Amino acid sequence: MLDFRDVQFDYGGSGFSLRVRRFELPRGARWALTGPSGSGKTTLLHLAGGVLAATRGEVTVAGRSLRGLGDRRRAAIRLRHVGMVFQSFELLPHLRAIDNILLPFRLCSSLPLTVEAREFARQLASALGIEPLLRRYPHQLSHGERQRVSIARALVTQPQVVLADEPTGSLDPSTKREVLTLLLRECERMGATLLMATHDHGLLGQFDGAVSIDEFREAAADGARQSAEGAVT
């Protein structure tokens, strides 16, 4: 479901690259991507979701290679087959919760907003405990409620891959556990592959495995060293 092969991404003038010799997650896998803030976790997720294009190598997501594709074609694949959850929620303030959840259908012409899609959105909202809040705007919701809306939006297209970038990072401990449990449960129910960035090692026991971003970081001066490359299968 998610496959990196000989992938490199250069950070321009920063002196660092990400190099992923091999990283593969099968359908339904639940993995954590660990590392401190600013270490490259978001970049790896953006490569996986086609937000960024690799400098070289091949990223395959949901059976579709992103190699050589332009921004629009990568975005189309992302909207149809990938769900993304963000630490800062990324909800549009002028849209009610239900319209934020259904936003992918309005952004992608090949995703028809059917009666069935609307009903599935409400089923997700019910499963996540936010159905009574669907008519509210983001500023009327708590942090935990906003993150649940963000999770519903990520799952509403029934994606094959879910990429979550520190989705519990801004939540209090009790809300953090609750939101993570909901995310894991819904991904399992849908059979989606989940890769979640986190710096909270207390959460790792709930995943099938974990990989550190340090395995994929490489200083420019050490470009030839194999030890800086990552290989995880």
| CATH number, residue 73 | 3.40.50.300
Q: How does the average pLDDT of the chain come out, rounded?
A: 90
Range of the domain at 208: 2-232
DSSP the chain: -EEEEEEEEE-GGGSEEEEEEEEEE-TT-EEEEE--TTSSHHHHHHHHHTSS--SEEEEEETTEE-TT--HHHHHHHHHHHEEEEETT----TTS-HHHHHTHHHHH-TTS---HHHHHHHHHHHHHTT-GGGTTS-GGGS-HHHHHHHHHHHHHTT--SEEEEESTTTTS-HHHHHHHHHHHHHHHHHHT-EEEEEES-GGGGGGSSEEEEGGGGEEEGGGTT-GGGSEEE-
**Confidence band, pLDDT 50/70/90 cuts, at residue 218:** confident
Is the CB of residue 143 less than 8 Å from the CB of residue 196?
Answer: no
pLDDT at residue 217 is higher than 90: no
Percent of the chain with pLDDT over 70: 92
The reported pTM is: 0.90
Predicted pLDDT of residue 37: 83
Domain count for the chain: 1
pLDDT at residue 84 is higher than 70: yes
Q: How are beta strands 82-86 and 230-232 bridged, if at all?
A: unpaired
Is the CB of residue 80 less than 8 Å from the CB of residue 111?
Answer: yes
**In Å, how far are 26, 83, 118 from 67, measured between CA atoms?**
20, 20, 33
Q: How are beta strands 56-61 and 2-10 bridged, if at all?
A: antiparallel
